[in-house]
Amino acid sequence: MKLRNLSLSLLFSLIFIGCEQKREFEEVVEWVSTTNSAQWIENPELLLKKSNAQTPDVEIYPTEYLQNIDGFGACFNELGWTSLALLSEEDRNEIMAELFSPGKGLNFNVSRMPVGANDFSLNWYSYDEVKDDFSLEHFSIENDEKTLIPFIKKAKQYNPDLKIWASPWSPPTWMKYNNHYACRPDENVNDLLGDPTTDLEGTNMFIQEDKYMEAYAKYFGKFVDAYADNGISIYSVAPQNEFNSCQNFPSCTWTAASLAKFIGQFLGPEMAPRNVAVMLGTMERPNVLLLDTILNDSFCKKYITSIGFQWAGKDAIPAVHEKYPQFKLYQTEQECGDGRNDWQGAVYSWNLMKHYFSNGCNIYNYWNISLEKGGISRWGWAQNSLVVVDPETKEYEFSYEFYVMKHYSHYILPNAKRVKTSENKDVLAFKNADGSLVIIAGNFTNEDKTVKIKVGNQLIEPQIKANSFNTFKISVQTNL
């Protein structure tokens, strides 16, 4: 009996050794996918096999590094908080954990907030509406104590290291030529007088006098200090959301030259003692010359550490990445959809993310965290969100775009690097600091297809479902 037991032990040992030797060349690959009908499917594990001589559909070069990936996030808007407030505390906590807890869901680590009212505020407001209060004696963030501050504090409960950057949509009204939060008259949503067809792009709505610029820079400083007093550190500010866009909601146009003056002579010096960085943004036009005007200003350029793009600004990012490789590049606002939160919007978002990361983006910010079903803003604009709340049933669901974000942000961790791939419009690859490799792949045809993905000298051959998003994670890279 002892000899028999010894033989069995030897047999099992040999089998184990054989399996280990096989796994040296065939590592298990984690694979999740999302389709219109199934949102987060953990597929059977793949094996990373030794590559044969066949020509792959795409090749990954895991040691050829491109840009660093600093993280993902979204924007804290007032309507986000009020929609979440309709839910039970248990549901609200589960959502915030899914968004912000490291390792659980979306892993958000860097997010945006407005300075005063924006297009998803409850109403018009700034932190000082007392006319000609250049000393800012009446400055107050009391409005934010009801919405934005508890929203951000709730997120920081789940990720204490969450980083926040901020930008205004409009200065206080008394700092603008038209004395109104909005720029474009619209009888349906504001009481601003004038011709609604007048195009004010390329003009200054902010009053171009030094005393106004000085007061506005101090306004930023008071904002940063007031939030610090509430336990929320602001690490970076941008001077203006979409400085070319004249909107019927809070907005303010600036010329590039006036922004350069404001940043270089007023905002930068006000932020520097606080160790708060300045972002050049947000840039919503494909015109690189606008950025040249600012970045070549001798006073301004020393304060800028990053450049932020959204909407049509995406078409400027390739040239800017090539021309100004020293700057961090942000996608500052996911294009917001139409409130339907449908599959077509998710596919568009997938391709948008691929465009930004393919052209040097370091940080990607979604827009609305949460909205009531339909996503209607104070000014009548329907938009998408990661979380959709039904105000009647007091229930919620994650949108398709939540899962698009998760395919990236759950697996691509801070300090990852994008790695080179062969030309393929539907595949990206990233390498985390722990050595794991993340491959993002889409199939936007109406048929399932097998895709041969070569990784170094090895291969995976998943059969990807029609109209699907997919993420593959190779935890241990053996013989790549």
* pTM across the whole model: 0.93
Q: Tell whether the torsion through CA atoms of 403, 409, 411 and 417 is positive or negative.
A: positive
Identify the H or E element spanning 214. Answer: helix 210-229
Any domain includes 135: yes
Residues 48 and 196 in one domain: no
**pLDDT confidence of residue 5:** 46
Taking the C-alpha atoms of residue 456 and residue 156, their distance in angstroms, rounded to an integer, is 39
What pairs with residue 236 in β-bridges?
Answer: 165, 277
Residues 177 and 33 in one domain: no
Number of compact structural domains in the chain: 2
C-beta separation of 83 from 372 below 8 A: yes
Last residue of a domain, one of 414, 439, 462: 414
Residues 231 and 377 in one domain: yes
Q: Is the peptide bond before 253 cis (omega within 30 degrees of 0)?
A: no
Any domain includes 6: no
**pLDDT confidence of residue 23:** 42
Last residue of a domain, one of 396, 414, 432: 414
Residues 40 and 144 in one domain: no
Containing structural domain, residue 38: 23-67+419-474
Please give the average pLDDT of every successive group of 10 residues along the chain, which has 480 residues. Answer: 43 41 62 97 90 86 97 98 98 98 97 98 98 98 98 98 98 98 97 94 98 99 98 98 98 98 98 98 97 96 97 98 97 97 97 97 98 97 98 98 98 98 92 96 96 93 96 76
Residues 305 and 353 in one domain: yes
Residues 334 and 254 in one domain: yes
Last residue of a domain, one of 414, 440, 466: 414
**pLDDT confidence of residue 16:** 39
Any domain includes 229: yes
Taking the C-alpha atoms of residue 54 and residue 48, their distance in angstroms, rounded to an integer, is 15
